[in-house]
Chain A
Amino acid sequence: MELLYTLLLGFVSVVLINNLVFTKFLGICPYIGVSGRIDMAFGMGLAVTFVMTLSGALTWMIDHWLLMPLNLEVARYVAFIMVIAAAVQLVEMYLKRFFPPLYESFGIFLPLITTNCAILGLCLFLVVWGTGTLIEAIVLSFGGGIGFTIAICIMAGIRENMRMVDVPESLQGAPITLITAGLLALAFMGFAGMI
């Protein structure tokens, strides 16, 4: 029961209060690039959630069961980035072979995710937060992905409507997206009082 409570709290916290996009500024590149249409944004969000959960769990295992016992924390960054790149590659090959429709719908997003700073960022934050158990690491990384999906979908919804708005010419494109994101971040700050 205690464990369930901790997990739930952690999940809510990483989805809303410590949202990767709005408080940690992770994954801003796809956030600005892909948030033009809501279906694309949702696809990107799902792909990120998938890879994030997988690499969060994998890097936690490598960190705790391999690097820490051997005192090899120095190699942490190199190990993490390799694991993430390999995980993305494997997922891509696996989906292509066994779930072609899903692979088609993820499209170019999968390879792009390797350099998505949200993935590596989350794995590093798991270390900083001192995540103790594997199940906690899995729940937190899944939550991180969900948080990213929520953020990018809200943004895509706003941007779809913003096409009908008369934005000053020099603010069109990235600037107005960033300003909108700022207002959203302000709104998300309201969640800070929840826990």
Chain B
Amino acid sequence: MAATLEGQNVYAEAVATGLWREIPVFRMLLGTCPTLAVTAAVKPALTMGLCVIFVLVCSNIMVSLMRKGLRPHVRILLFTLTIATFVTIADLFLRAYQPAMSEALGPYVPLIIVNCVIIWRAEARASNSGVMLSIVDGLAMGLGFTIALCTLAVIREILGTGRLFDIQVLPTAFPAWAAMGMPVGAFLTFGFVLGFINLMKRKRA
């Protein structure tokens, strides 16, 4: 009984870490490149988030399975190759079933290979934990990443086009800020959201 309780605590801990305490984009500033690149609208952001969840969970499983055989000097290389394989799978899947989305995301899907969030989890969690914990960790971290992407995307899409998922949310009299869909909007939104989170943190402290 005690063992299960302790086990549950470990899982709950992993979920809390991924979703809030160390939420990859906002707290750790990891994976900033896709965060800025694909958040002009919610749909690509969501697609990207799902791809990252898939790759993260799969690579966590693989790394966790081979953690006993890892040698320090080839560790990173093996991680990268594992990740690259799963990213190729995700990319081919997307190209087959969502060709328009694959076109829109372009090279940012293969760029998941060098997304620091995935290698960070492989190093910090999967290479020293069991398979189940690694899966939970991958899901939590991936979900945290997706939430962060969608937060930015919602702000940018609403201000940039006045709509969300093709539904008009702002009054049509509101002039759409075209800049929000451009690189400028990405940097500014991310900067201000980070500032807002810092403000909240200081208020609570």
The interface size of chain A toward B, counting residues with CB under 8 Å, comes to: 44
**Contact, CB under 8 Å: B29 / A32:** yes
Stretch at the interface among B15-23, B58-66, B84-92: B84-92
**Contact, CB under 8 Å: A125 / B107:** yes
**Contact, CB under 8 Å: A25 / B36:** yes
**Contact, CB under 8 Å: A186 / B184:** yes
**Contact, CB under 8 Å: A82 / B81:** yes
**Contact, CB under 8 Å: B32 / A28:** yes
Q: Mark A114-126, 1 if CB is under 8 A from B, else 0.
A: 1111001100110
- A116 partner, pick from B37, B88, B114, B182, beta carbons under 8 A: B114
Q: In whole Å, how far is B94's beta carbon from the nearest beta carbon of chain A?
A: 13
Mark out the residues of chain A between 125 and 157 whose CB falls within 8 Å of any chain B CB in the assembled complex.
Answer: 125, 127-128
**A161 within 8 A of partner (CB):** no
A128 to chain B: which residues have CB within 8 Å? 106-107
Q: Give the interface SS of chain B, mostly helix, strand, loop or mixed.
A: helix
B184 to chain A: which residues have CB within 8 Å? 182-183, 185-186, 189
- B33 partner, pick from A28, A78, A81, A172, beta carbons under 8 A: A28
A26 to chain B: which residues have CB within 8 Å? 33, 111
Q: In whole Å, how far is A136's beta carbon from the nearest beta carbon of chain B?
A: 18
**B187 within 8 A of partner (CB):** yes
Q: In whole Å, how far is A18's beta carbon from the nearest beta carbon of chain B?
A: 11
Stretch at the interface among A49-57, A61-69, A93-101, A173-181: A173-181
**Contact, CB under 8 Å: A189 / B33:** no
Residue of A24, A82, A127, A169 with most partner-chain B CB within 10 A: A24
B192 to chain A: which residues have CB within 8 Å? 175, 179
A74→B96 CA distance, assembly (Å): 13
**Contact, CB under 8 Å: A169 / B202:** yes
Nearest neighbor of B187 in chain A, beta-carbon distance: A182
**Contact, CB under 8 Å: A81 / B111:** no
**Contact, CB under 8 Å: A189 / B114:** no
Q: Mark B71-113, 1 if CB is under 8 A from A, else 0.
A: 0000011001100110110011000000000000011001101
A53→B194 CA distance, assembly (Å): 34
Given known pairs A82-B81, A85-B80, the reply for A77 and B113 (CB within 8 Å) is: yes
Q: In whole Å, how far is A32's beta carbon from the nearest beta carbon of chain B?
A: 7
Residue of A25, A74, A170 with most partner-chain B CB within 10 A: A25
Q: In whole Å, how far is B129's beta carbon from the nearest beta carbon of chain A?
A: 22
A22→B188 CA distance, assembly (Å): 12
**Contact, CB under 8 Å: B88 / A175:** no
Given known pairs A124-B110, A189-B184, the reply for A77 and B191 (CB within 8 Å) is: no
Given known pairs A32-B29, A78-B84, A85-B80, the reply for A23 and B114 (CB within 8 Å) is: no
B116 to chain A: which residues have CB within 8 Å? 29, 115
**A171 within 8 A of partner (CB):** yes
Given known pairs A28-B32, A115-B119, A189-B182, the reply for A81 and B84 (CB within 8 Å) is: yes
**Contact, CB under 8 Å: A121 / B107:** yes
**B183 within 8 A of partner (CB):** yes
A189→B181 CA distance, assembly (Å): 13
**B198 within 8 A of partner (CB):** yes
Nearest neighbor of A168 in chain B, beta-carbon distance: B195
B145 to chain A: which residues have CB within 8 Å? none
Residue positions of A touching B, CB distance < 8 A:
22-29, 32, 74-78, 81-82, 85, 114-117, 120-121, 124-125, 127-128, 168-172, 174-179, 181-183, 185-186, 189
Beyond the given pairs A116-B114, A181-B191, 17 more chain A to chain B contacts, judged by CB atoms under 8 angstroms and listed by A's residue number, are A25-B32, A26-B111, A29-B116, A32-B29, A32-B32, A77-B91, A77-B110, A78-B81, A81-B81, A117-B33, A170-B198, A170-B202, A171-B195, A176-B191, A179-B188, A179-B191, A182-B187
